[in-house]
Structure 1
Amino acid sequence: MSVRRHLITALLLGSLTAAVPAGELPSAPDELGSIRRNERGQLEVLKPPGETAPGAARNADRQAGPGQPLQQQRIPATTSGRTIVVGPQESVRSIQEAARIARDGDTIEIRSGEYRQQAVVWTQARLTIRGVGKRPRLIADGDHAEGKALWVVRNANMLIENLEFRGVRVANGNGAGIRFEKGHLKVVRCAFFDNETGILTSNFADAVLEVEDSEFGEAPRHAGALHHLLYVGKIARLSVQGSRFQQGFRGHLLKSRARESAILYNLLVDGPDGSASYELEFPNGGLAWVIGNVISQSDNTENPELVSYGAEGQHWPDNALYLAHNTLFDSLLAGHYLRVWTDRMPPETEVWAVNNLLVGRGVFAPQARGRFEGNRSIDRSLLVDVDGLPFRLPNNSPLRGTATSPGFVRERSLAPSAEFKLPAGTHPLPVGSPLTAGALQ
């Protein structure tokens, strides 16, 4: 064997053994890579297109353990692949064309503007799709994929960012902006308006959905299935943070059947133009973290409950609801801020309700074993508008800074670390500052 071949072989073996820990060597790939001489005159190995670091997929699929908030999970970055630019002045002018040519690891950038009838079934395993500049608007205009949604995400690790989905209608009345079927989907700074359902998921027990800094609203008022703004099936995990829900109609603002749900620092306020049923529902129980949200019914609602847990009975083996530092509005005289269906859930189901601010005339009472403390009731007239949010206690309120620490459960703090900001998003709270009952500190 020549000296050159010895050198190439050593480089290939060295690059593989350095990247993979002892005892975790993968099976031999079909293509080890190519060799080139770099600008310093040294030979180096190039990975095949689309190859990622060993173990990346395993780490991405690792579930959050105790004490690890769901919102800290991240979609793996697409470190390889092309960038496909879509726009009226670009060589690729339609999203459907971009979907046809995209490969695993690619990034699709969509320029500002309106894109009509761009229904797609995404079949790639890894993609990043983002709007560039002012949020592009995807208008169904009668189009849909497979009678399900404007976009169907089949089975992927996918990030969708800065896009608006609008006007989806299908024959069964359940048309979604996005139908998420399997994998790990993260949706950031997106909007879902005038769809029969904003996002609708499947029931695959290992699927994960994350939603951040997004907006849901304008539920249609035609007959058909209940028009939930976000409807999550029996998946593994749901995280919703810094997002706004409003203007529902008969359906719920947010409904989750997930095994574990983290609903953090959101604005679920139906508003005067809304008439949603529940604002937040966990029909099959599961492990639910509800921290730092502003939740309010419309006066037009036909449902006397704000938050519902367990109405359709147990599905998961682990069931608990942790409701801390939320601001809850209920103007109905016989309304209930919280309804726990204890007759349909296991007797060991735990409910904590700590440091919530109760505004209105509703009922808030212990309904299961657990903790029920630090909750404060006030009249709505005692709140002030700050930065467009009329839900905050004034600085001179005697309740300011008087809340005790809500403590830890399952190695996780129930104290808020952020609060909602308009139009959608969060900003962090100062570490160590005195706590006040409610969501807005």
Structure 2
Amino acid sequence: MNRSARLALAFGIPLLAAAPAAVSFGQAADHAPYTVAETGRGFTRLQDAVDAIGDGSGTIRFASLRFSDCAVQSKGEITYQAQVPGQSVLDGKACEDKAALVLRGRGARIEGMVFANIRVPDKNGAGVRLEHGDLSVSQAWFRDSEQGLLSGEDPQGSIRIDKSTFTRLGTCEGSGCAHAVYIGNYGALTITRSRFEAGTGGHYVKSRAAHVEITDSSFDDAAGRATNYMIDLPEGATGRIAGNWFVQGRDKENYSAFIAVAAEHRSHPSAGLTVEGNNARFAPGIDRNSAFVADWSGEPLKIGRNTLGTGIAGFEKR
């Protein structure tokens, strides 16, 4: 078992099955590639399945295939569910030059899906582009794209990510940087039991949400390239960052901090933001100095006990 597999198991993150070989629909099993669970109707185009649910609520089950397909959800509440977790891959196609799934309905759930190789002209290609509504993501894998999950603004909305993996994401080749997870001005972001690894630019998590809970997750930057912060809260936030494991790698665009608070604006209060019970260190062979938490807010954060490697200061005001 390789190191990534051991770490994933240690953090309770299920290993996703290898992506199936590309299969044409004519070679697939006798069921349709997409099935609306509530009606049993099958579809060969994802957009047709989404449109069939319309303003209602329903579940779209994906067969174990690699799909060159995408869809836009403009209304309703839809669950996108892999029949076998890790074996349904939305690969390489973006709708509206944005993402494999563009979501602006009332809400969405994503369960067991893989999003891979999404690239668009403006360098913001994402597995999921959330423009409105609540979103819950579980047992998903976002890999080898410009961004994993990108959201717009919905101050009343919430985003939850659990048991998911983000691999080889991010770039600063466009007009701005893309990130593994980039959340706009949402009400709340919760990330639990997830893994971030081998970033290719930008930050691992950049969130403008007013409240964050990031717990029991791992940020392995050892194989990262031209990456920045592990967690960036550029407009401040309240909440809790706890029980996470961080390793900062050698190839950094910015290694001055692991976690940054209010580095751009002070749009949200940060008083009481709690950072405790984390473990942070440099990858083997790296000799440098960095701050675990760098704060521009000037507000009283709650920095508890964290286990920090040599050369890492617990807190710096900037």
Q: TM-score range by the shorter chain?
A: 0.7 to 0.9
Contact 1:213 1:242 in 2 (8 A): yes
Alignment of 1:86-101 (within 5 A): 91-101=42-52
Select the residue among 315, 332, 344 that pairs with 2:267. Answer: 315
Amino acid at match of 1:154: R
What is residue 125 of structure 1 aligned with on the other side? 76
Deviation at 1:295, TM superposition (A): 1.4
Alpha-carbon distance in structure 2 between the residues aligned to 1:205 and 1:124? 18
Q: Which blocks of at least 5 consecutive residues in structure 1 are unaligned?
A: 1-80, 369-441
* Distance in structure 2 (CA, Å) of the matches to 1:113 and 1:82: 18
Given residue 339 of structure 1, which amino acid in structure 2 is its aligned partner?
A
1:384-423 equivalent positions in 2, closer than 5 A: none
Partner secondary structure for residue 98 of structure 1: helix
Shift of 1:223: 2.6
1:218 is aligned to 2:152: no
1:46 corresponding residue in structure 2 = none
TM-score normalised by structure 2 residue count: 0.81
> Which one of the candidate residues 329, 334, 338 is aligned to 2:289?
334
Output the amino acid matched with 2:180: L
Q: Is the 8 A contact 2:37 2:61 kept in 1?
A: no
Larger CA Rg, structure 1 vs 2: 1
The CA RMSD measured in Å over matched residues stands at 2.1
SS of the residue corresponding to residue 121 of structure 2 reads coil
- Tell me if 1:138 matches 2:89: yes
Q: Count matched residues.
A: 277
Q: Counterparts of 2:157 and 2:265 in 1: how far apart (Å)?
A: 21
Mapped to 1, the partners of 2:224 and 2:242 lie a distance apart of 26
Measure the CA separation in 1 of the matches of 2:123 and 2:108: 26
State the distance in 2 between where 1:146 and 1:321 align: 37
Secondary structure of the equivalent of 1:101?
helix
Alpha-carbon separation, structure 1, partners of 2:226 and 2:278 = 21
> Offset at 1:84?
5.8
Q: What amino acid maps onto 1:231 in structure 2?
A: Y
Paired position in structure 2 for 1:282: 233
Q: Which structure 2 residues correspond to residues 151-300 of structure 1 after superposition, within 5 A?
A: 151-219=101-169, 223-224=173-174, 225-300=176-251
Deviation at 1:111, TM superposition (A): 1.5
Change (3 A) 1:84 1:162: farther
In the aligned structure 1, how far is the partner of 2:129 from the partner of 2:170?
Answer: 18
**Number of the residue aligned with 1:13:** none
Mark the CA change 1:94 to 1:84 in structure 2 (over 3 Å): closer, same or farther. farther
**Aligned-pair distance for 1:222?**
7.9
Give distance in 2, aligned partners of 1:239 and 1:171: 30
Are residue 106 (structure 1) and residue 44 (structure 2) matched?
A: no
Q: CA deviation at 1:249?
A: 2.1
1:324 aligned residue: 276
Which whole-Å deviations, capped at 9, do the CAs of 1:337-368 have from their partners, x for residues lacking one? 22112xxx2x4x12112121002322224649
Q: Which residue of 1 aligns with 2:15?
A: none
CA distance, structure 1, for counterparts of residue 45 and residue 60 of structure 2: 11
- CA change 1:160–1:223 in 2 (3 A) is same
Return the offset for 1:251.
0.2
User: What is the CA-CA distance between 1:97 and the residue it aligns to?
Assistant: 2.6
3-state SS in 2 of match to 1:336: strand
Helix, strand or coil at the partner of 1:205: strand
Equivalent pair of 1:281/1:309 in contact (CA under 8 Å): yes
Aligned AA (1:241)? T
Q: Structure 1 residue 209: deviation in Å? A: 0.6
SS at match of 1:363: strand
Amino-acid identity (%): 24
- The answer as to whether partners of 1:115 and 1:136 remain within 8 angstroms in 2 is no
Contact 2:294-2:316 within 8 A present in 1 as well: no
**Structure 1 letter corresponding to 2:294:** R
Provide TM-score, normalisation by structure 1: 0.59
Contact preservation (8 Å) 1:329, 1:337: no
Alignment of 1:149 with 2:99, yes or no, is yes
Deviation at 1:100, TM superposition (A): 2.6
Aligned partner of 1:328: which letter? A
Residue type at the aligned position of 1:283: P
Distance 1:284 1:99, change over 3 A: same
> Residue 32 of structure 2 corresponds to which residue in structure 1?
none
Unaligned runs of 5+ in 2: 1-35
Cα displacement (A) at 1:243: 0.5
